[in-house]
């Protein structure tokens, strides 16, 4: 009979003794899910209390085309001209173009976002 390509995985001992406290497999089947739930719960509560990553629900986009499932803009390079300034903070009233609203957002939040500027080399 051929041997398996990898050595067998170590097996979990039926019990372990630590500081006089005996931990059995049955205890581990209870402790591990409770520990995972506690860590996950702590993470979710902290995330909820911090208001998510950006917006009230963790949304980056607070106002632009909220009735759409995805906001996408596409431009042909030939139509951009010599320079175009695109918003990356999602606060511009002229989105997808930057109108300078990022400055107020940065001042209020301590963020550091700014526009994407695309220009021809000679512009």
Which one of the listed residues 57, 65, 66, 70 is annotated catalytic?
Answer: 70
Pick between residue 28 and residue 99 the one whose CB is nearest to ligand FES: 99
Pick between residue 43 and residue 75 the one whose CB is nearest to ligand FES: 75
Q: What is the closest distance, in whole angstroms, from the C-beta atom of residue 114 to ligand FES in the complex?
A: 6
Residues near 98 by Cβ (< 8 Å), separated by ≥ 6? 85, 86, 87, 88, 92, 115
List the x/- string, 15-54, binding to ligand FES by CB under 6 A.
----------------------------------------
Give yes or no: 83 in active site: no
Pick between residue 45 and residue 62 the one whose CB is nearest to ligand FES: 62
Q: State how far the Cα of 58 lies from the Cα of 120, in Å rounded to an integer.
A: 35
In the window 58-117, what residues touch ligand FES (CB under 6 A)? 87-89, 91-92, 98-102, 113-115
Contact 91, 62 (CB under 8 A): yes
Residues annotated as catalytic (active site), given as ranges: 70
Task: Enumerate binding residues for ligand FES (CB under 6 A).
Answer: 87-89, 91-92, 98-102, 113-115
């Amino acid at each position: 009979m051929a041997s398996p390509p990898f050595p067998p995985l170590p097996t979990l001992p039926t019990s372990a003794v630590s500081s006089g406290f005996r931990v059995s497999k049955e205890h581990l089947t209870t402790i591990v899910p409770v520990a995972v739930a506690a860590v996950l719960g702590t993470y979710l509560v902290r995330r909820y209390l911090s208001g998510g990553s950006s917006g009230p629900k963790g949304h980056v986009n607070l106002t632009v085309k909220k009735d759409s499932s995805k906001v996408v803009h596409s431009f042909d390079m030939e139509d951009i001209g010599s320079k175009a300034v695109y918003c990356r903070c999602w606060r511009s009233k002229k989105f997808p173009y930057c109108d300078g609203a990022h400055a107020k957002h940065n001042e209020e939040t301590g963020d550091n976002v700014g526009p994407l500027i695309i220009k021809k080399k000679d512009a």
